[in-house]
């Protein structure tokens, strides 16, 4: 199939919306990462998303709405706390897992009785939802397991020939996927995937916020996943990725002793004057690291890196999300010096 690249004008957004209405799959920009969008209520369209990504059928899709007030149409129950969170964080990079109603097909929910609801703030995604009149199911627009796309070019590289169109809405603002939460009770939420809405921000609205242990430690052999996405390899470039928690001096020493010509490092902006080996940089503080990370992991593959040593980021604030993506890319192995 031919994949057309559409630009951000009203005529082309109309075209994208028409495609979605007729059951096709379109790559769409959001403020977090690009998504592979289709009508969440159309089982065949949703199957095409799973096929294009090579995604396991039990890994559910997030349903994107133009406004949180529409969530009542697709859910069986919405706690008061969800409304308060929506007031503070919607539209934006937050996904709330809620009990689904019968309108959401099990294909979309990966067989679960729940559905992830998100109200994206990106004007292009917002407009396409409105023009299509559909709730849009959209996972990140990467081949399953690979780093998420933060530009239309990334989506084209992964999806050319597999989907009907990609809409170019520029670089994704946040660069990492939304924070996914579920509700343990009326006052407590559980972070299933960290993102740009941080624990500290959630605590402005919730009495307590639990960080699911699998975020930092992965799943043990007998653990059940609170979110199916936790079970699968994700965010990994082709290159072997190794995270190192150490001082810059120890990092330089370790890399010097363990490199060959295909080894690269991913370091902080401020490190580069004191770093004598092949490298790319990924920002200085957590927000810019989040913005740059996935693009850098893709660049490392393009320049032929076979092994990548990464400077471990801080775990506070948005840093937890950056750390989570990297520790998963590294298969939960960290070298601590």
Q: Among 19, 24, 40, 61, which residue sits at the site for ligand TXA (rule: CB under 6 A)?
A: 61
Q: Among 140, 172, 236, 289, which residue sits at the site for Mg ion (rule: CB under 5 A)?
A: 140
Alpha-helical (H) ranges within 212-275 are 214-217, 248-257
Our CB check for Mg ion shows the closer of 140 and 182 to be 140
| 138 binding ligand TXA? (CB under 6 A) | yes
| 239 binding ligand TXA? (CB under 6 A) | no
- Strand 62-64: give its sheet, edge to edge: 4-7, 165-168, 26-28, 35-39, 136-137, 62-64, 114-118, 94-99, 179-183, 188-193, 208-211
Our CB check for Mg ion shows the closer of 93 and 311 to be 93
b/e code 59-90 from CB counts within 10 Å (16+ = b): bbbbbbbbebeebeebbeebbebbeebbeebb
Question: Which residues have a Cβ under 8 Å from the Cβ of 220 and sit 6 or more positions away?
Answer: none
- Are 298 and 268 in contact, with CB atoms under 8 Å apart? no
Taking the CB of residue 238, how many other CB atoms lie within 10 A of it? 15
The residues with which 100 forms a beta bridge, in sequence order, are 75
Q: How far is the CB of 100 from ligand TXA (least distance, A)?
A: 8
Question: Which residues have a Cβ under 8 Å from the Cβ of 316 and sit 6 or more positions away?
Answer: 286
* Number of residues counted as binding ligand TXA (CB under 6 A): 28
Interface region with ligand TXA, contact rule CB under 6 A, candidates 78-86, 92-100, 149-157, 201-209:
92-100
Q: 175 touches which of ligand TXA, Mg ion, none (CB within 5 to 8 A by kind)?
A: none
**Which structure tokens are listed for 103?**
């309108």
| 32 binding ligand TXA? (CB under 6 A) | yes
| 114 binding ligand TXA? (CB under 6 A) | yes
Our CB check for Mg ion shows the closer of 37 and 252 to be 37
Q: How far is the CB of 140 from Mg ion (least distance, A)?
A: 3
- Are 172 and 123 in contact, with CB atoms under 8 Å apart? no
Q: Which of residues 146-185 bind ligand TXA (CB under 6 A)?
A: 177-178, 180
Our CB check for ligand TXA shows the closer of 100 and 296 to be 100
Q: How far is the CB of 284 from Mg ion (least distance, A)?
A: 26
| 59 binding Mg ion? (CB under 5 A) | no
Interface region with ligand TXA, contact rule CB under 6 A, candidates 4-12, 55-63, 249-257, 296-304:
55-63
Map tokens 């936790």 to a residue: 230
Beta strands 136-137; 240-245: pairing state: unpaired
Sites of contact with ligand TXA (CB under 6 A): 30, 32-33, 35, 59-62, 93, 95, 97, 109, 112, 114-116, 118, 138-140, 177-178, 180, 192-193, 227-229
Sites of contact with Mg ion (CB under 5 A): 140
């Amino acid at each position: 199939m031919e994949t057309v690249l559409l630009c951000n004008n009203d005529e082309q957004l109309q075209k994208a919306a028409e495609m979605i209405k007729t059951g096709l799959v379109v790559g769409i920009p959001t403020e977090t990462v690009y998504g592979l969008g289709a009508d969440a209520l159309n089982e065949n369209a949703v199957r095409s998303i799973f096929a294009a990504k090579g995604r396991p059928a039990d890994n559910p899709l997030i349903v994107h709405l133009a406004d949180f007030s529409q969530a009542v149409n697709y859910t069986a129950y919405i706690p008061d706390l969800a409304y308060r969170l929506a007031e503070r964080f919607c539209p934006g990079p937050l996904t709330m897992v809620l009990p689904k109603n019968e309108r959401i097909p099990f294909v979309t929910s990966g067989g679960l009785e729940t559905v992830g609801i998100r109200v994206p703030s990106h004007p292009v995604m917002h407009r396409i939802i409105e023009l299509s009149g559909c709730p849009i199911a959209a996972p990140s627009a990467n081949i399953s397991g690979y780093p998420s796309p933060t530009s239309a070019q990334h989506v084209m590289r992964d999806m050319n020939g597999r989907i009907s169109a990609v809409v170019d809405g520029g670089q994704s603002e946040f660069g990492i996927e939304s924070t996914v939460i579920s509700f343990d009770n009326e006052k407590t939420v559980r972070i299933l995937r960290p993102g740009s809405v941080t624990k500290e921000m959630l605590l402005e609205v919730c009495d307590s916020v639990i960080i699911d242990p699998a975020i930092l430690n992965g799943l043990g052999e007998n653990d059940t996943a609170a979110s199916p996405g936790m079970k699968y390899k994700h965010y990994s470039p082709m290159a072997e990725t190794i995270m190192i928690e150490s001082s810059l001096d120890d990092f330089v020493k370790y890399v010097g002793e363990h490199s060959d010509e295909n080894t690269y490092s991913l370091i902080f902006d401020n490190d580069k004057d004191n770093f004598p080996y092949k490298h790319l940089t990924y920002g200085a503080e957590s927000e810019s690291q989040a913005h740059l990370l996935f693009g850098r992991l893709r660049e490392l593959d393009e320049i032929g890196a076979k092994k990548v040593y990464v400077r471990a980021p801080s775990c506070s604030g948005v840093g937890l999300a950056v750390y989570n993506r990297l520790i998963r890319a590294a298969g939960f192995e960290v070298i601590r010096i």
